[in-house]
A = this chain, B = another copy of it.
Amino acid sequence: MNIPKPTAERLSQLARLLEQRKNKNIPISSAEIEQLTGWPSNTIRKDISTLDMRTQISTTSGHDPVKLLEAIRKTFGLTNVVFKCCIVGLGRLGSAFLDYAGFQESSFTLAAGFDSNVNRVEILKADFPLYPTFKMKEVIARVGITYAILCVPPTQAQATAERLVECGITGIVNFTPCILSVPQGIEIENVSVIDALGSLTARLAATKTKTRSEL
């Protein structure tokens, strides 16, 4: 019931892996997942055991991809719910999401885009409507948008975040290199290339010290 955060992260990635796996019928074993992701098969089995369903996802030859995916979605509260998101800031980064394939199979959907530059709003094409920033409050409320993907320039990051909170947004995926301060109850998820590169470096430094404990 109470899923550890690292477990949740792995399961979420596992869900993505299952979504993009072509052969949806033949079972996938923990060993196979290990081989694909690098996580120990032990850990994967433990992770799966935290899922709260009992529709027998697993047989002697592995886990049923479809049932497993469903179970993950169910425990994450991602079935029959679609969270509406908006992109805020349609510069190079923001507009990159206009044709991003990753939302396809997911429980999230892009419902609007905002930019203070009216020109951009008119020129760019998307499957969902784009608006000038001053319509933000109205649109977010009317459409029922819960999350924002923040892609504005650094100088505007904090101010825009505050504005989003006022509009009723409860979660922000922050693509700017800024650290945002928001009131309690609002969640921020920072997505930063620099941090990712830092993690890589730290991880590589660690494994180098380990002088191959396995293989």
Contacts and interface: CB of A to CB of B under 8 A. Distances in A.
Interface of A: 3, 5, 8-9, 12-13, 16-17, 20, 35-38, 76-78, 83, 85, 91-93, 95-103, 106, 108, 147, 149, 153-154, 170-173, 177-179, 181, 184-185, 187-205, 207, 215
Contacts of A197: 83, 85, 106, 108, 147, 171, 173, 189
Nearest to A195: B12
Number of this chain's copies in the assembly equals 2
Contact of A189 (B9, B149, B200): B200
Given A20-B179, A179-B36, A102 B192 contact: yes
A202 B5 contact: yes
Contacts of A199: 8-9, 12, 189
Contact of A193 (B36, B100, B181, B192): B100
A189 B179 contact: no
B92 A96 contact: yes
A129 B85 CA distance: 36
A154 B76 CA distance: 25
A179 B96 contact: no
Given A93-B100, A193-B100, A204 B20 contact: no
B8 A202 contact: yes
Contacts of A202: 3, 5, 8, 12, 76
Contacts of A35: 181
B194 A191 contact: no
B193 A16 contact: no
Given A92-B92, A177-B16, A184-B215, A102 B194 contact: yes
